[in-house]
Each structure stands twice: as structure tokens, then as C-alpha cells.
Structure 1
Amino acid sequence: MPQSNGLKVLVVEDEAIVAMDLADMLADWGHSVVGPANRAAAGRKLAATQEIDFAILDVNLGGGETSQQIAQTLRERAIPFVFLSAYSASSIEYRIDETVMNKPLIPHVLENHLNQQLAARGVAHGE
């Protein structure tokens, strides 16, 4: 059951099973999911219009699409995010200094990162 002190997390992931797993994990940890979006246009729209505390962006969205413009929109709105990718951080040309979490995702690494976001907001998770 989502807790009221959780984050609103945008998920942009083109692989349906990965997106569903992420959404389930986030909900289990008390966060609410914005999306998920599986294409760049849908992700850009959500990133520009929704109330979001944090985002998880797959780098390669299939069909030649990337999350580059979504990342830029989030930067403009000062919304923190991580990239989720099988690519190395150095191969993501539009990455500035954002964290890159490797696929397959190790759940506790993401959970720790989200808990750091909560701590930065002065929220103790699980209370």
C-alpha cells in the first residue's frame, strides 16, 4: 500500500515486463508511479505536465528513440532522475552527471537511491 510520504516517480521504459516490475517495486516501497511511459513522446508529455519528484529513464526506447528530450525536460524542471540502461555511462552522450543504473536492475540499489531522495527532502521513509 503506497505511503503518503513516498515519492511520485515517473517511469519511462519500453519493455513492458521491466516497466511492470519497476511499478510493482515502487508501489511496494511506498511510492506512486507516474506512467509508465513506453515511448519518448508519452514520456516527454508526462515529464512536462505531471507532478513528479523523481524519474527512472530507460536510455533506449526502441525504434531509434531515446530518453534524451525527457531528460532535458526533467533538468529544466529541476527534477532528479536516473538512467536505467544496459549501456555504460560513458556511452550515453546526453548524460551530464546523472546516475546510470545497469540492467538488469538490482532492486536494493534503486531502493537506496530513492531513500536518499527522501532523506534529501527531510522525509524518513516508512514512518
Structure 2
Amino acid sequence: MGTSIGMNILMLEDEPLILMDLEFAAEDLGCQALCASSVRDAMAILDGPDPVDAAVLDVTLKGGETCVPVARALQQRGIPYLLHSGDLNRHDETVRGLQAELVAKPASASRVIARAMSYANAGGGMAAQA
């Protein structure tokens, strides 16, 4: 708490270059990036000491994982999140079931982080607008 850094944003992304872009964009916007590349890593961050204000979740992860367990944990805790995916056809049902805003890849990392920040500032209005 008493730091000058704004909000903590959980980033679940298994592509190192994309994760790095998101991390730098978050830092440029005054946020702390809490980076994870697997469901296990993301859940450890959620259970860790740092509060999470918002999250950016890649839908499809390595090893056949999806972001669904993390999305459900965020929903239970009332933490807003958005989905960041380039694999829309394969996981269309997954994305619809989560009812979160989707920012399709490729997208500007700063735009993705700004959207996540706006959700956190709005108190979590993350349901998709149909």
C-alpha cells in the first residue's frame, strides 16, 4: 500500500514477447505487472500478498490449458478482467461463457492495459455488451 505505483494488474499470457509488451505497457501507465504464464502461476498470484485490481487473460495457454479457472476465481473475488486472444474460432464458446470483454490480438499493449485499468477504476463492469 503506501507506494506511488497505481494498481496491480495480473497478466496471464504464455507468449513471452507479448507478456513483456504488456508488462512494459503497464509500467509505463504507472501500474505493477503481476505476470503469469500458466493457470498455476496465476492462481499463486491471486493467493499471494499483492492485491489484484484487474487482470488481462490470454484464453489459450500452452499444454491445452485455458484461462477459465483463473477467470472464475477472479469473478468470485469481484476482480474485473478482460480477455486477450488471437484464437477466437477455437474457443468461441469459452469466450462467450465468460461474458468478458475480448480484445483481439494483435492489439496495442498500452490499449489492452488502459482497458483493464478502466475496468478497475469503474469497479468491475466487465460483462460483455451484446
TM-score by structure 1 length?
A: 0.80
Question: 1:44 & 1:65 partners in 2: Cα distance?
Answer: 13
Shift of 1:26: 0.5
Question: Which residue of 2 is the match for residue 66 of structure 1?
Answer: 66
Which of 99, 105, 108 matches 1:106?
Answer: 108
Q: Give the TM-score taking structure 2 as reference length.
A: 0.78
Query: 1:38 Cα shift?
Result: 0.6
Counterpart residue number, 2:26? 26
Distance in structure 1 (CA, Å) of the matches to 2:41 and 2:80: 19
Shift of 1:5: 6.0
Moved segments of 4+, more than 4 Å: none
Q: Secondary structure at the match of 2:98?
A: coil
The secondary structure found in structure 2 opposite 1:69 is: helix
Structure 1 segments unaligned to the other structure (5+ residues): 122-127
Task: Give the aligned partner of residue 42 of structure 1.
Answer: 41
- The AA in structure 2 aligned to 1:75 is Q
For the aligned residues, what is the CA RMSD? 2.3
Identity over aligned pairs, percent: 26
Residues 2-44 of structure 1: CA deviation (Å, up to 9, x unaligned): x83622100110001110110000000111111x111111112
Q: Which runs of 5+ in 2 are unaligned?
A: 124-130
- From 96, 99, 110, the equivalent of 1:97 is 99
